[in-house]
Amino acid sequence: MTAPYMKTLIMAVLALTISSVAKAQKTSDIINSGDDFLAVCQYDSNRPPDVCLAYVAGVAGTLALNWSDTGQRICVPDNATLRTTLDLVLQYIKDNPEKRNQKTIFLIAQVTIKKYVCEAPKQQAGSAPPPDSKVRP
């Protein structure tokens, strides 16, 4: 994860941590479904809600570390920001109304994996083949 992205991630998490009780309620709302996320996180001004940035940062940060179910990781490019990623998620939810009832975490994962999936490491020439999977006595 790049330094600017990490800095923004830390700032967003801190903002969430010190948020008011009203924002705590928003936090519980945004995790329920894409509809709830869209209702809380859609913004008209220049500044999206901190709670939305923090939630996207948490999901994307976890995926950047490792997505153990598939072994896939995301690699966020240097020019990506949390706001850019939030905007991608919001647009995805708007463009896919049939998916709005899904948990927000899955929607964010779908967007970030599609947009930022790391390239698979290339196998070096002359490297050993994978271990034999046959059971031996």
Give the DSSP per-residue string, 28-58: HHHTT-HHHHHHHH--SSSS--HHHHHHHHH
Confidence of residue 25 (pLDDT cuts 50, 70, 90): low
Contact at 8 Å (CB) between 54 and 60?
A: no
Which residue reads 């309620």 in tokens?
25
As a whole number of angstroms, the distance between CA 132 and CA 72 comes to 23
Report the chain's mean pLDDT, rounded to a whole number: 75
Average pLDDT for residues 92-106, to the nearest whole number? 95
Confidence of residue 8 (pLDDT cuts 50, 70, 90): low
Confidence of residue 133 (pLDDT cuts 50, 70, 90): very low
pLDDT at 57 over 80: yes
H/E stretch holding 82 reads helix 82-95
